[in-house]
Amino acid sequence: MKNLIQKLVESIGPSGYESAVREIVRDEVAPFAEEIRIDALGNLIVRKGSKTKSGMRLMLAAHLDEIGLIATHIDENGFIRFSTLGGVRPNNCPGGRVRFMNGVEGVIGIERLENPDRPFSIEQLYIDVGAASRQDCPIKVGEVAAFYRPMLDLGGRIAAKSMDDRIGVAVLVESLRQLKKTPHEIYFVFSVQEEVGLRGATTAAFALDPDLGLAVDVTLTGDTPKGVKMEVALGKGPAIKVRDGKMLSDPRLVQYLIETAEKAKGPYQLEILEGGTTDASVIQITRAGIPSGCISIPCRYVHSPSEMVDYNDVQNAVKLLVTVLSNPIHLG
């Protein structure tokens, strides 16, 4: 899967501008899909299988978009001020490299701080694309960019920008590729604009009205020095979400995922995330309500230019998902 992952994470697709990433995914899934369509908001919706007596209509969601930047002002010297698309943290920005949708690259700089010990804001940052004046600047107000870094393959671990959630996208693509037979009517939804409000999954879930929803996304880890206090760690398997900042997973689905992982003799962890959420939270409250949950890929340094995952966790997430999709689902 590493070639697919690299292709996905090194592409540019901030929220609302996912078209290039969507085309990569469309080409990858085409040989295995029974139906492919793009809805009005830009979600790529891929169908596999037909619903049998023992099956369900399932919606699986992984988002195409990544956090990004949008130019708001170009000053007289050609420096670009910007706002954010999604959860860009100011402390992850200085010295970072970005690429605009038109291919122009630049470096994020920071104003001289009066008190370096105090937190700084996005308003104190700017992008330097090498321009000498406003007229010389190749970027206009309203153009968008994302962090730009090549993927780093560390053997068992891989790091790149936009693992959130291109790694989830890769898991869905690989699961579709490996899925040979299913009793379900499955909709693989590669959603848009998740980072700015879960928008794509909201409209897709309303249109599809599934019997059950499952997101595949990243989650934080508690395995770095003086890091966040949580049980999830790299290398211990995919995490089955119990709760996050906006959702309580359906406990029947949580138990079913645990039992499935144990029967398949695959590693798993239980995830309780204090803040943040995934597409599953809006699928859950669509129409009259949909039993929903999430399979999470443990990820260090989320919303930074170098997010890190464990390759075995990714493969085991595919194994768990394919097992779930290949068999009838009984929630009790």
Residues 56 and 73 reside in one and the same domain: no
In tens, the pLDDT along 241-289 reads 999 999 999 999 999 999 999 999 999 999 999 999 999 999 999 999 9
Percent of the chain with pLDDT over 90: 95
* Angstrom distances, CA of residue 103 to CA of 54, 100, 145, 148: 49, 5, 9, 11
Task: Kindly state the tokens that stand for 170.
Answer: 């890769």
Residues 49 and 98 reside in one and the same domain: no
Asked whether residue 153 is domain-assigned, the answer is no
Residues 12 and 98 reside in one and the same domain: no
Task: Please return the burial class of 243, using the count of CB atoms within 10 Å of its CB with bins 0-12, 13-18 and 19+.
Answer: middle
* Angstrom distances, CA of residue 153 to CA of 47, 204, 236, 313, 319: 32, 34, 19, 15, 22
Nearest residue to 160 (alpha-carbon basis) of 29, 273, 314? 314
Q: Give me the amino acid identity at 78.
A: G
In tens, the pLDDT along 170-226 reads 999 999 999 999 999 999 999 999 999 999 999 999 999 999 999 999 999 999 999
The band of 116, judged by pLDDT with boundaries at 50, 70 and 90, is confident
Residues 98 and 192 reside in one and the same domain: no
Q: How far is CA 150 from the centre of its chain?
A: 17
Q: What does the pLDDT read at residue 332?
A: 74
pTM: 0.96
Task: Kindly state the tokens that stand for 251.
Answer: 């406990």
Q: Is 123 a catalytic residue?
A: no
Please pick, among 194, 195, 271, 307, the residue that the annotation labels catalytic: 194
Asked whether residue 267 is domain-assigned, the answer is yes
Last residue of a domain, one of 120, 147, 174: 147
Q: Report yes or no: 149 and 296 within 8 Å, Cβ to Cβ.
A: no
Asked whether residue 264 is domain-assigned, the answer is yes
Residues 33 and 165 reside in one and the same domain: yes
In tens, the pLDDT along 161-170 reads 999 999 999 9
Q: Is a pLDDT exceeding 90 seen at residue 114?
A: no
Q: How far apart are alpha carbons 201 and 193 in whole angstroms? A: 8
Residues 182 and 291 reside in one and the same domain: yes
Q: Is a pLDDT exceeding 80 seen at residue 235?
A: yes
- Please give the average per-residue pLDDT across 24-46, as a whole number: 97
The total domain count for the chain is: 2
Other C-beta atoms lying within 10 Å of the C-beta of residue 55: 18
Residues 35 and 138 reside in one and the same domain: no
Q: How far apart are alpha carbons 37 and 35 in whole angstroms? A: 7
Nearest residue to 139 (alpha-carbon basis) of 148, 150, 130, 151? 130
Give me the residues paired with residue 35 across strands.
47
Residues 60 and 77 reside in one and the same domain: no
Last residue of a domain, one of 112, 147, 182: 147
Asked whether residue 155 is domain-assigned, the answer is no
Residues 114 and 226 reside in one and the same domain: no
Range of the domain at 95: 68-147
Q: Report yes or no: 217 and 62 within 8 Å, Cβ to Cβ.
A: yes
- The helix/strand/coil state of 318 is helix
Q: What does the pLDDT read at residue 328?
A: 96
Q: In whole angstroms, how large is the CA radius of gyration of the chain?
A: 20
Q: Give, to the nearest 10 degrees, the angle between helix 163-178 and helix 311-326.
A: 50
Last residue of a domain, one of 147, 178, 208: 147
Asked whether residue 156 is domain-assigned, the answer is no
Asked whether residue 42 is domain-assigned, the answer is yes
CB neighbours of 251 closer than 8 A, spacing ≥ 6?
none
Residues 119 and 80 reside in one and the same domain: yes
CATH of residue 213's domain is 3.40.630.10
Residues 287 and 212 reside in one and the same domain: yes
SS3 content of the chain, % helix, strand, coil (to 5): 25, 30, 45
Asked whether residue 152 is domain-assigned, the answer is no
